[in-house]
Structure 1
Amino acid sequence: MAGSNNGRSRLDDSSEYDRKSEVQAFDDSKVGVKGILDAGVTKLPRMFLHNQPVIENKLDSDAATKFSIPVIDFEGLRKNAAQRADIVQEIRDACENWGFFQIVHHEIPSSVMEEVLEGVRHFHEQDTEVKKEFYSRDVTRKFTYNTNYDLHKAPTANWRDTFYCVMAPNPPNPKEIPKVCRDVMFKYMEYVMKLGLTLYELLSEALGLEPNHLKDIECAKGLFIAGHYYPACPEPDFTLGLSDHTDSGFLTILLQDQIGGLQVFHKNHWIDVPFMRGAVIVNIGDLMQASSYL
């Protein structure tokens, strides 16, 4: 969802506005964005209105043909050294030129990916009173749910609820995870940790290092899962689901559903990341740059 110039005019309609009080009241309610939508809101609360210019897709028809997110096939990874070397080179090129790539024929079964996406939906679509038990900003808890981790600091809120779960290096007690998504979270953790180790090996080789280098410096030690949920929005032209941002210092493995919506900024263009059934998206953030100084 994108902000707009119309959104800025809406901001000017209110001469007096106490954002701090509105944010605190919303946070105290523990209902999340889904909760206020379920309550029948037809206009966005002021805290969600963005005052930034329209984020338009600058991609013209020529650029659409020229630019596409790299897709790397892992099917031959374990077959022989030559195929592995080709994959390492593809990863090196993708990291240098994009910082993003998609992987097909990886280690996570499509069924598990579909289950974890369903688990995210099922958690967020539970009754509000059930979810309130998990609504918190206490970073010491293994599992929390809230709206915008930076809600009290950001100038504008995004139309998004998220649950957060610390799965490694010290896995949570199963009872700390909501039953509606508990089993698939632990199943997904096993597969994504294996894929993470594989990626760190390949990234190490792409940097010209020994395969275990990034693993040995504990880059693969932790696992943090975030399950974003974007409810229908009554005024989508006035807000965002997720602001433009960069990830730094860690490797991110993303799943998106068929609706899609993820974009990458590349050579002054916003490029759509197409939905590919069975594929995972990898965002290296600033990891490779940081690792090159180690």
Structure 2
Amino acid sequence: MLKSTLEYIKYIRRLGETLFQLLSEALGLQEDHLGSIGCAKGCSIVCHYYPACPQPELTLGVRKHADPGILALLLQNEISGLQVLHEGQWFDVQPIRGGLVVNIGDLLQIMSNDKLKSVKHRVADNHVGRRISVPCFFEGHATFLDKPFGPIKELISEANPPRYKEFRLREYIARFLSSSLDQNKDSNSSLIAK
């Protein structure tokens, strides 16, 4: 089990590096831009287990939230439960065997100056079977904590002014951890919104 987990981590990190290259290009930056500033560092993996629920309409697996980090890659088994919010409606994300869900985090939205958007999501319980999900979060290099953080300078212009003021990531994380999931994005907006 440990060997296969370590092997999975090695491949998921490599996939993260490739995705950051593609995202850099999509933003009109040099291919290595996001990687060179440490976005592919700080990778952590969490495992979630949701047992079958006899009355799923009375509970919720994980409340509405947006991921605070840079990028999340989610592996899930064939049991559905993940939902995304789009134009005020919740939509099921049907699991695809062997597929990964790629989720933009709040920090990548900030760095991209809203060119890339994080999405609110939740997990609904179900009575069908046991749901397992393994998200891998890319939160950036530890040196991010005390440096000024905000939109990437190359993405800012007179026609595209910064939508977020610079802030210290340490303050952002402290505020995120001190509030509930439903309030996180809203409570951090006063810290980072222009």
TM-score, structure 1 normalization: 0.37
Q: Which has the larger radius of gyration?
A: 1
Contact kept? 1:248, 1:287, Cα under 8 Å: yes
| SS of structure 1 residue aligned to 2:80 | coil
**Residue in 1 aligned with 2:45?**
225
- Identity rate of aligned residues, in percent? 52
**Residue in 2 aligned with 1:206?**
26
- In 2: Cα distance, 1:287 partner to 1:184 partner: 30
Higher strand share: 2
**Residue in 1 aligned with 2:74?**
254
Report the alpha carbon displacement of residue 250 of structure 1 after superposing the two structures with TM: 1.8
| SS of structure 1 residue aligned to 2:84 | strand
RMSD (CA atoms):
1.4
2:5 to 185, 199, 203: 185
| SS of structure 1 residue aligned to 2:5 | helix
- In 1: Cα distance, 2:77 partner to 2:17 partner: 24
**Residue in 2 aligned with 1:275?**
95
- How many residues are matched? 114
- In 1: Cα distance, 2:61 partner to 2:24 partner: 34
Report the alpha carbon displacement of residue 221 of structure 1 after superposing the two structures with TM: 1.1
Equivalences for 1:6-155 in 2 at 5 Å?
none
Q: What amino acid sits opposite 2:62 in the alignment?
A: L
Contact kept? 1:249, 1:290, Cα under 8 Å: no
**Residue in 1 aligned with 2:86?**
266
Report the alpha carbon displacement of residue 280 of structure 1 after superposing the two structures with TM: 0.9
| Cα 1:234/1:260, change in 2 over 3 Å | closer
Instruction: Encode CA deviations 1:253-288: one digit per residue, 9 max, x unaligned.
Output: 001111121111011111111121221110012243
TM-score, structure 2 normalization: 0.55
Instruction: Encode CA deviations 1:129-162: one digit per residue, 9 max, x unaligned.
Output: xxxxxxxxxxxxxxxxxxxxxxxxxxxxxxxxxx
| Cα 1:190/1:260, change in 2 over 3 Å | same
Contact kept? 1:201, 1:213, Cα under 8 Å: yes
